Amino acid sequence: MLISRRVLRQQYECFRRYLGNVTPYYAIKANPHPEIIKEFIKLGSGFDVASANEMKLVLGLGAAPDKIIFANTIKSSADIAFAHKHKVQLMTFDNEPELYKIAKSSPGANVLVRIKVENIGSTVELSLKFGADPEQAIFLLKKAKTLGLKPLGIAFHVGSQCLNVKNYLNALSVSFEIFAEAEQLGLPLEMLDLGGGFPIRHFDDDKQISFQNIAQAIKKKMVRLFSPKVKFIAEPGRFFVGPAGTLVTQIVGRTFRNNKNYYYLNDGVYGDFSGIVFDHCRYEYKTLRRGQKFLSTLAGPTCDSFDTISPNEDLPELEVGNVVYVKNIGAYSCASAVPGFNGFPPARIIMV
């Protein structure tokens, strides 16, 4: 797995160029490799963590506590206490019982209520599991205040790999209505977390909406709806690290089955192609060989039929030892790989 430092910087600078009024907090679940985190620390990024272990990792690498958001709406009391001990004060929640846990284990913490918003057209729908109904937001913010917490604002997530800009625009409208109602009730809010979901291209000929166009639409609506005093943050993960990764695999076996070439690679869905399972990813498989293409199947190395990477790919005739590589695979690949299933380790990560 080759990770390009140059592309990491390009993606960060692209985000800052087109969404300059939004502070990014890199979602390290996308790829928590220490060298990637160090690169984003140098660039000035904040970090989105979901557990004490992720928090411990970024703090240990030099991230400042005030540049970390504990953005898991369901946290263990022990993890909340860890955050409090290490001065990580910004957290999300989406239910009343969570507030009692936060108030007990991290008194005085800054909190954002995560609301459920539309995830139409997103590859991974996150509203199925997280987010309070918007009509509950005011009650929850008031409850946070009565418990001695500091209700700073709203958070939402439009779903991962979001290709529908209306998800963002509708979520901004819903958030503005909550901001306005809170203001009338003497509970002024000062922060809006746009979450992640910013898309990347997985195929060279993808014709999907660009990040630039999404960012322009978001920024225009934010400026129109919200006071300049509101602080905007976001949690890009895939957008920052996905394009930086290239996975280079090798064919370790081949056969002819079901009237197709079968190629067995030294990586599979239990390894760095885990994004196929956990992230619903589709990848573009490339080779160094040219020539007539034939319908082929790519499979992983484990003794499990589930470990089939792609049943139908048009590929040239390949031999054992040939290379098959995939670009734009830096996110949700090695991060969710099973370490050592069947004795096969994930790919070695090389920073270039």
Q: What is the DSSP letter of 115?
A: B
Beta bridge partners of residue 295, listed in sequence order: 314
Kindly list the distances between the CA atom of residue 18 and the CA atoms of 9, 193, 231, 264, in Å, as whole numbers in the listed order.
14, 17, 16, 42
Helices and strands, counts by H and E, the chain = 10, 18
How far is it, in rounded angstroms, from Cα 196 to Cα 242? 13
Unique residue bearing structure tokens 């979001």: 162
How far is it, in rounded angstroms, from Cα 153 to Cα 141? 8
Decide: 318 and 256 in contact? Cβ < 8 Å: no
How far is it, in rounded angstroms, from Cα 191 to Cα 351? 35
Kindly list the distances between the CA atom of residue 340 and the CA atoms of 272, 298, 330, 347, in Å, as whole numbers in the listed order.
12, 20, 20, 11
Alpha helix locations (H) across 185-245? 211-225, 238-241
Annotation says 303 is catalytic: yes
Decide: 313 and 274 in contact? Cβ < 8 Å: no
Residue in 350, 349, 346 with CA at minimum distance from that of residue 271: 346
Which is catalytic among the residues 162, 281, 303, 334? Answer: 303
Burial tier of 135 (Cβ tally within 10 Å: 0-12, 13-18, 19+) = exposed
How far is it, in rounded angstroms, from Cα 3 to Cα 30? 13
Q: Which residues carry out catalysis?
A: 303
